[in-house]
Chain A
Amino acid sequence: MAKRKRIGMEVALAAAEAVGMCNVDVAAVYPITPQSHIAEHLSELVADGKTDTEYVTVESEHTSMSVCIGASATGARAYTATCSQGLMLMHELLPIASAMRCPIVMSVANRPVNAPLNILSDHSDIMPQRDSGWIVIFSENGQEVVDLTLMAYRIAEDKDIMLPVIIGIDGFILTHMVEPMEFPDQKEIDKFLPPYKPYATLHPDKPLTMGAFAMPDFFPQMMKAKDMALLNSKKTIVKVWDEWERKFGRRYRPVETYRTEGAETILVTMGSMSETAELGVDELRDKGVSVGLVKIRLWRPFPSDELKVAVKDARVLAVMDRAVSPGTGGGPVFTDIKAVFYGEDSRPIIVNYVMGLGGVDVTVGDFVKMGEKAAKAKKEEYEFYGVMG
């Protein structure tokens, strides 16, 4: 493997650089904090002729996703980026993109949803999109953002998948951080990511209809096809990640582990907090507390089997949710994980800490505290960590 130069760059700009290497035909992005730097930098790359992309400036996110679906339907490789209210405004379009099997890629600079207005970071924007039929992958540092973005079209456009992909990049905590990272050469990417060959496209010579009215005789089949495609996508996603590892040396798994060997208690995280959690685990291990860490990288399709293997010997799972699922009695990651263990003969005690909402800093010390508390857990718990009232 070639030794590459590491360069320092703001992660949002790096995301745009990676998109710029993907030969994207159409990009339609509406500015929204903290995503705007991606939109800006991509427009610079287009203006400077560094990528041959039609950049459509739209009047809202509803339109940016509509433009992407239209472009994708004609066989173009399409890209957008957003977060928070922008993602909520797009919500109506997301299931259409997946049902019409449009392999769009979208960066989401995860930010809370109103009200009250907050522009910082948490996962409240992505959670309402869970059932939209998109593949959702989370990143925890700048290098991962670059790698996962570069791999996203390979995954989305694979003939066994043909589904849109979201790359989650925690707002500010990741987007606005300057980090060291390395980029493959354009030639290597061109080899890794061949031009998109669509199954079916809108073309005047071969008329066809997409997304038309479907009666009950056909509609359920479409829904089943979408779900099957998403459930089956996992093995192809892993195949693409394996190829990346062979070529570029960095390994990605649907569920990743850190010091889980023999751990009685396992913390479960998703997104940027995972690196901080690693330091917390180190500190806890130094104190003699038997703790490990499991990181959910692939949020949809949910990696149930991989999770079961990763935590098989744990007595307690402490799930850290960066979003609330109001009225459920637990955060979204927590409830999904609980479902995984239904039907298992032996299952861990699962506790849930909802934390980091609205950009609250989650420190190494917080993970130490949560880890110590979880290690003593006797039954299921659901707690807003550090929140008064």
Chain B
Amino acid sequence: MPVRDYIRERFFPHIWCPGCGHGTVMGSMIRAIENLGIKKSDIVVVSGIGCSSRICGYLDFHTLHTIHGRALAFATGVKLSRPELTLIAPMGDGDAFAIGGNHLIHAARRNIDITAIIMNNSIYGMTGGQYSPLTGYGDFATTAPYGNIDRSFDVVKLAMGAGASFVARTTTYHVRSMIKILEKAITHKGFSVVDILSQCPTYFGRKNKLESAVDMLKYYKTHTIPIGSKEKEKNPDLIERGIFVQEKYPEYCAEYDKIIEKASKER
């Protein structure tokens, strides 16, 4: 199917700023799903609040636009009642790591079969460029005019620590590998976390002397390397991308079914 069959054109033009990376993430999601051949009606996309969440309006799947930080909680409800459906939760910095941080670690711990896509732009874009838990130390934001003194979460390490069975990182510059990673994340049986560095030229770029979206994409090109690259030894500041974890752990819905079966037998 062509890409436009996956979107609701009646809601276009979208609200994302010129140069925003979120459209690239959406395009890659669509291509991954097209490649996997999953039926549109078998996919549920659940979003929270913020720039990222608007994806629910544009994608022509079952979509559930919920409240700030709770995308994974709603998605857990959908998945437990209809485990046969494919659940994708695209989230922003706040949804995934600030107000919704608890939901992420517990979804990871349970290993419920949901794909969490972190549209990581290191800033709160929609509300005006406040720093987020993914804004790096020393970075600038409207609320950090002299530089941020908080350290950012390392999405990959946090997801690994919380027990996610699939953990990957990619960027909006590396579209082809992003599509491949998303295919693997969506088909992975268990909780998948994909950290996608997605540029916000309007706020993060403007505040951090990355003047244009192109500059930011170039930054992703020059400041990230594939996992295990020798470059990392020379420059430890380089950010690794690729698949960090791909493990088979017991999946939550399957475990839940087993308990039901066990309890039913013993009755």
A40 within 8 A of B: yes
A33 within 8 A of B: yes
Interface centre among B67, B69, B133, by most A CB within 10 Å? B67
Partner of B127, one of A36, A89, A115, A116: A36
A117 within 8 A of B: yes
A243 within 8 A of B: no
Residues on A with C-beta less than 8 A from B143 are 39-40, 43, 57
Interface secondary structure of B, over-half rule: loop
Q: Which residues in chain A, 24-41, are within 8 Å of chain B measured between CB atoms?
A: 31-33, 36-37, 39-40
Residues on B with C-beta less than 8 A from A257 are none
In the bound complex, how far is the Cα of B49 from the Cα of A89, in angstroms?
Answer: 14
Residue on B nearest A114 in the bound complex, by CB = B67
Residues on A with C-beta less than 8 A from B65 are 115-117
Partner of B69, one of A37, A43, A57, A60: A60
B49 touches A85 (CB 8 A): yes
Using known A-B contacts A59-B98, A85-B49, A85-B68, determine if residue A47 contacts B146 with beta carbons closer than 8 Å: yes
A32 touches B127 (CB 8 A): yes
Residues on A with C-beta less than 8 A from B69 are 60
B99 within 8 A of A: yes
In the bound complex, how far is the Cα of B82 from the Cα of A95, in angstroms?
Answer: 38
Residue on B nearest A44 in the bound complex, by CB = B145
B142 within 8 A of A: yes
A60 touches B130 (CB 8 A): no
Residue on A nearest B133 in the bound complex, by CB = A59
Nearest-Cβ distance from residue B242 to partner chain A, whole angstroms: 29
A85 touches B142 (CB 8 A): no
A60 touches B98 (CB 8 A): yes
Residue on A nearest B144 in the bound complex, by CB = A57
Residue on B nearest A30 in the bound complex, by CB = B99
What per-residue 1/0 map shows which CB atoms of A83-103 lie under 8 Å from chain B?
001000100000000000000
Residues on B with C-beta less than 8 A from A40 are 128, 130, 142-143
B36 within 8 A of A: no
Residues on B with C-beta less than 8 A from A32 are 127
Residue on B nearest A35 in the bound complex, by CB = B127
B124 within 8 A of A: yes
In the bound complex, how far is the Cα of B54 from the Cα of A117, in angstroms?
Answer: 11
B227 within 8 A of A: no
Residues on A with C-beta less than 8 A from B124 are 31
In the bound complex, how far is the Cα of B131 from the Cα of A31, in angstroms?
Answer: 10
Residues on A with C-beta less than 8 A from B101 are 59
Nearest-Cβ distance from residue A34 to partner chain B, whole angstroms: 10
Residues on B with C-beta less than 8 A from A89 are 99
Nearest-Cβ distance from residue B192 to partner chain A, whole angstroms: 24
In the bound complex, how far is the Cα of B22 from the Cα of A251, in angstroms?
Answer: 51
Q: Which residues in chain B, 138-168, are within 8 Å of chain A measured between CB atoms?
A: 142-143, 145-146
Nearest-Cβ distance from residue A95 to partner chain B, whole angstroms: 21
Q: Which residues in chain B, 96-129, are within 8 Å of chain A measured between CB atoms?
A: 98-99, 101, 124, 126-128
Chain A residues close to B by CB (< 8 Å): 31-33, 36-37, 39-40, 43-44, 47, 57, 59-60, 85, 89, 114-117
